[in-house]
Amino acid sequence: METFVDAGDGYRLWVETTGGEGLPPLLLVMGAGASGIAWPGELVARLARHHRVIRYDHRDTGRSTRAFHERPYAIRDLAGDAVAVLDALSIERAHVAGMSLGGYLVQLLLLDHPGRLLSAALWGTSVLGGARPDPEIRDEDLPGPDPRVLAMWEQMGQERDQEAELRWRVEHWRILNGGVLPFDTGEFEDLERRVAAHSGGWTASLAHALADRSGMERGGELARVTVPTLVIDAPEDPITPPPHAARLARAVPSARLVTIPGLGHALSRATVSPLADALIAHTRSAGAPGRTP
């Protein structure tokens, strides 16, 4: 089922739900500049055997309102959008999973809306800024993104024709995939064509890169989190490589760290089975949801 949700300040978010309404809800939170369509259909289908799966388009992505230059917002407002989606669907509590920027948003949900979360899962991300010093994994031990990724990001938003844009996006995914799991060019070409069809065009928005990042220095507060949390270590992630995941898991007392061998920063077919298995095992262990009347 597809619908639109009002998130305030004139923003409407495209939302899709898959799976039985009586199943425990699972909200998927995508990364920066990515629409909900970036969640692989095969992964959604696997999760929907056990959950009412909810994926949505962030502001300025997909079919959601694109108005950043007229009504700018902060990254932290995107976490509020996730709550707005739950409210609109009358979901009191949900399992929540986020990758990349979605992982930062899940951390904000853990801090500001713990009563709305049955469990949390996050990967492809790092601990929020301002985390307490860790004697075993120091901040200076955390590597930055691969230089190849940074070089691609310098070209983000440049004007290109459709075919050149498609080639750029697929090459970006090739680097994000890492060097272990197989990379199928056709798979990611199909993904980007679906994203373009869903979005109504090939113009990429830089809104999330330009959004206000204040209020994100809250890593020290993660020490009070009690929501069951799964941190997935993606050992081939070229954006947040090890030991970012281990540092995050150590910052959250309720967290459990699980490694998916070969996982990078892309969701290819090869990742669907191990990722679905890890998420389902985690939500199952966290228990059943509460629902509003």
| Residue 195 within a domain | no
Q: Which one is catalytic: 35, 100, 119, 199?
A: 100
Overall number of domains in the chain: 1
Please, what's the b/e burial string for 213-242 (b: 16 or more CB within 10 A of its CB; e: otherwise)?
A: eeebebbebbeebebbbbbbbbebbbbbbb
> pLDDT value at position 243?
97
Q: Are 140 and 118 in contact (CB under 8 A)?
A: no
Q: Which of 95, 172, 208, 265 is catalytic?
A: 265
Instruction: Note whether residue 12 is domain-resident.
Output: yes
Q: Are 32 and 18 in contact (CB under 8 A)?
A: no
Judge whether 169 lies within some domain.
no
Known active-site residue 237: yes
Q: Is residue 186 part of a domain?
A: no
Q: How confident is the model at residue 204, as a pLDDT?
A: 84
Q: What's the average model confidence in pLDDT over 144-151? A: 97
Give me the residues paired with residue 275 across strands: none
Active-site position among 237, 244, 268, 282:
237
Residue pLDDT, tens place only, 173-192: 999 999 999 999 999 999 99
Q: What is the pLDDT of residue 253?
A: 95
For β-strands 117-123 and 25-29, DSSP reports them as unpaired
> For residue 157, is it within any domain?
no
pLDDT at residue 290 greater than cutoff 90: no
**Residue 56 bridge partners (DSSP):** 15
pLDDT of residue 291: 36
What does residue 259 show for φ and ψ, rounded to 5 degrees?
-100, 135
285 is catalytic: no
> What pLDDT does 157 receive?
85
pLDDT confidence of residue 140: 87
The pLDDT assigned to 30 comes to 98
The alpha carbon dihedral of 158, 161, 162, 163 has a sign of: negative
- The pLDDT of residue 287 is 74
Identify whether 70 is part of a domain: yes
Q: Examine residue 281 and state whether it is found in any structural domain, yes or no.
A: yes
pLDDT surpasses 60 at 220: yes
Q: What per-residue confidence (pLDDT) applies to 233?
A: 98
What mean pLDDT is predicted for residues 48-65? 98
Q: CA-to-CA distance for 40 and 19, rounded, in angstroms?
A: 15
pLDDT at residue 293, rounded to an integer: 25
The answer to whether residue 88 scores a pLDDT higher than 50 is: yes
Q: Quick one: pLDDT at residue 289?
A: 44
Q: Using N-to-C axis directions, what is the helix angle for 147-154 and 162-177, rounded to 10°? A: 160
Start-end of H helices in the chain: 41-47, 75-88, 101-112, 147-154, 162-177, 185-199, 207-210, 244-251, 269-286
pLDDT, residue 89, reads 97
pLDDT of residue 52: 98
- What's the domain range around 264? 2-142+206-286
For residue 102, CA distances in Å to 27, 79, 116, 183 come to 11, 9, 16, 23
Give yes or no: 100 in active site.
yes
Q: What percent of the chain clears pLDDT 70, i.e. is strictly above it?
A: 98
CATH code: domain of residue 234: 3.40.50.1820
Residue 137 falls within a domain, yes or no? yes
